[in-house]
């Protein structure tokens, strides 16, 4: 069966068509700058030439129809008919407290996605438009929602409650939800398999370090804590997100710079992180190059990033009263051996010891700790699209 995976972001749509017989990607692509002046599609049919075009896309509905056209196109298409698509798996940002697992989409599911617009104002509306566009183009094809928040729904109350007036939790469901759930779920399961851990007696910390970054503490296969919160802003220092700051910064900055709360939040989400600390880039390859040329701020930015990760790992070891395995994934986690080493060098108190040669490996599942290490340390490449496709297949 072929499964189409749709990931509608605030102004983008990423997609993959996956053949579930052998879990191979048949085609993938991205529509960018949706709703802006210069929207474009890049469609990669894997075994044929990549197709690129600038096409007006006022909304995600138009983007979805362009994706379907590209998949069916005579020259760069990979399908003869839409009937070949067995199901569509949609990444949905926020399922609130309602969904702790993926679900086949019906009117009720769409109502909940709509109810969560306030919690995911940039993504949930785009997700719903993507779902409805697919429904109208493929009325007989099952659609599945895979929520970014679902995996974290097993967190205990003590981990997800914010210590603010209780009525705001009751009235508005303000609490920690966590994100990157599909990745944390997929990777933590691989850690147990690959690391030969006992699924019912295991303590795992997953470090998803990409442009967006989050950690999760996973005990016996269930998430018990994670670093992102009500929104993806909380927690680690990221590419352009600040991560944890004193909430009073919002008021202080709004007053000093005469900004609205929305404007300050925009700064904390899009103009902060290692990009702001370094003044160079959000990309760790550029930060490394700048640091090598003697740029102190670039070096300091990476130091701060690593320090925050190390502190979160320490807090999750405390939360679980131990740790069996620590795993790195996503763009930085999979590729940046220097950052991995900096983090692991601060974990010698746990008995962590890594093999320098193995730590140079990129993009494959590998145990990078030495046999003497008291904690297994590994790299597990994440694959959110495949995880979404697997969940979709399992449900239909």
Please give the residue ranges that form the binding site for ligand AMP (CB under 6 A). Answer: 210-212, 239, 282-285, 330-332, 335-336
Give me the residue label for tokens 């550029």.
286
283 counts as catalytic: no
Nearer to ligand AMP, 180 or 203 (CB): 180
**DSSP-assigned letters across all residues of 10-30:** SS-EEEEEEETTTTEEEEEEE
Q: Choose the catalytic residue: 148, 225, 324, 336.
A: 148
CB of 236 to ligand AMP, least distance (A): 12
385 vs 93: CA distance, rounded Å:
14
CB of 188 to ligand AMP, least distance (A): 17
Nearer to ligand AMP, 98 or 151 (CB): 151
Nearer to ligand AMP, 65 or 211 (CB): 211
Nearer to ligand AMP, 7 or 219 (CB): 7
Nearer to ligand AMP, 58 or 279 (CB): 279
Residues β-bridged to residue 192: none
Kindly report the three-state secondary structure assignment for every residue of 237-269: CCCCCCCCCCCHHHHHHHHHHCCCHHHHHHHHH
For residue 104, report the phi and psi dihedrals to the nearest 5 degrees.
Answer: -70, 135
User: Which one, of 176, 261, 169, 168, lies nearest residue 227 by Cα?
Assistant: 176
Residue 174 burial by Cβ neighbours in a 10 Å radius (0-12, 13-18, 19+): middle
20 vs 2: CA distance, rounded Å:
6
* All residues at 6 or more sequence positions from 329 whose CB lies less than 8 Å from its CB, including other chains: 183, 187, 206, 207, 208, 209, 379, 380, 381, 382
Nearer to ligand AMP, 336 or 391 (CB): 336
Reported in sequence order, the residue ranges of 93-221 that DSSP labels E, i.e. its strands, are 103-104, 143-147, 203-209, 213-219
Residue 376 burial by Cβ neighbours in a 10 Å radius (0-12, 13-18, 19+): buried
CB of 143 to ligand AMP, least distance (A): 26
CB of 378 to ligand AMP, least distance (A): 17
CB of 40 to ligand AMP, least distance (A): 19
CB of 187 to ligand AMP, least distance (A): 12
> Active-site residue numbers?
148
């Amino acid at each position: 069966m072929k499964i189409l995976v749709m990931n509608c972001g605030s102004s983008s749509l990423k997609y993959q068509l996956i053949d579930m017989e052998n879990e191979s990607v048949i085609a993938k692509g991205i529509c960018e700058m949706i709703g802006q002046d210069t929207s474009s599609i890049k469609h990669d049919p894997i075994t044929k030439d990549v197709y690129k075009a600038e096409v007006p896309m006022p909304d995600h509905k138009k983007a979805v129809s362009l994706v379907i056209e590209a998949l069916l196109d005579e020259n760069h298409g990979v399908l003869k008919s839409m009937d070949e698509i067995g199901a569509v798996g949609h990444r949905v940002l926020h399922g609130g407290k309602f969904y702790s697992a993926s679900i086949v989409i019906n009117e009720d599911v769409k109502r909940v996605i709509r109810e969560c617009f306030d919690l995911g104002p940039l993504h949930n509306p785009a997700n719903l438009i993507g779902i409805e566009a697919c429904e109208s183009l493929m009325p007989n094809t099952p659609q599945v929602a895979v929520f970014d928040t679902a995996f974290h729904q097993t967190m205990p109350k003590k981990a997800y409650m914010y210590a603010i007036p209780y009525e705001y939790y009751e009235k508005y469901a303000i609490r920690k939800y966590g994100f990157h759930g599909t990745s944390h779920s997929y990777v933590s399961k691989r850690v147990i398999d690959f690391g030969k851990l006992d699924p019912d007696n295991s303590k795992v910390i997953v470090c998803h370090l990409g442009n967006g970054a989050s950690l999760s503490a996973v005990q016996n296969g269930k998430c018990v804590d994670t670093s992102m919160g009500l929104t993806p802003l909380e927690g680690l220092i990221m590419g352009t997100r600040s991560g944890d700051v004193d909430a009073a910064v919002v008021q202080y900055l709004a007053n000093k710079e005469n900004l609205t709360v929305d404007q300050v939040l925009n700064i904390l989400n899009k103009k902060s992180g290692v990009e702001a600390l370094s003044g160079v880039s959000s990309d760790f390859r550029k930060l490394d190059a700048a640091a090598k040329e003697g740029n102190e701020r670039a070096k300091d930015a990476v130091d701060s990033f690593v320090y925050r990760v190390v502190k979160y790992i320490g807090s999750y070891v405390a939360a679980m009263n131990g740790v069996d395995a620590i795993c790195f994934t996503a763009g930085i986690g999979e590729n940046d051996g220097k950052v991995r080493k900096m983090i692991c060098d601060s974990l010698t108190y746990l008995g962590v010891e890594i093999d320098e040669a193995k730590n140079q490996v990129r993009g494959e599942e590998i145990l990078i700790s030495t046999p003497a290490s008291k904690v297994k340390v590994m790299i597990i490449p994440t694959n959110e699209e495949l995880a979404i496709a697997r969940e979709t297949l399992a449900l239909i």
